[in-house]
Amino acid sequence: MRTWKCNDCGRTVDIRYEEVLDIGTPMCECAGDAKDMELLPASRIRLAVVLEGGMVSSICSDHPELLNQIYVITIDYDTDGADEDEITLVPQGGIRSEPAIVSRGTIDPTEIKLDELFKDNS
């Protein structure tokens, strides 16, 4: 989603990334089209990878609803003690592969105030 600001009336309009609009197509309620609109900087999506005891305990975001196009896996190269059927060969480019434990992850909502943690380097 990108947010555009109408330079004629000041309204903001959210347009999905997939939508392609031709010049002349009204984008704003006041009939402003692309030449009247200013693309505002995209707000960044913030993720936190939470570890406990060196293991990933969760991957979370304060806007998980924005992340349905992203798939997450964790790759753990520490395979000591793992059963053979838990190990996946992870291609490294060329003909090399490394054994690892690969798990599918999810991005969970969080109550952590990520905006405060990112405020110095957002």
Quote the least distance from Cβ 3 to Zn ion, whole Å: 13
Write out the chain in H/E/C secondary structure.
Answer: CEEEEECCCCCEEEECCCCCCCCCCCCCCCCCCHHHEEECCCCCCCEEEEEECCEEEEEEECCHHHCCCCCEEEEECCCCCCCHHHEEEEECCCCCEEEEEEEEECEEECCCCHHHHCCCCC
Per rule CB under 5 A, is residue 6 in the interface with Zn ion? yes
Site for Zn ion in 29-48 (CB under 5 A): 30, 32
Per rule CB under 5 A, is residue 8 in the interface with Zn ion? yes
Quote the least distance from Cβ 1 to Zn ion, whole Å: 18
Per rule CB under 5 A, is residue 4 in the interface with Zn ion? no
Per rule CB under 5 A, is residue 9 in the interface with Zn ion? yes
The residue among 38 and 115 lying less far from Zn ion, judged by its C-beta, is 38
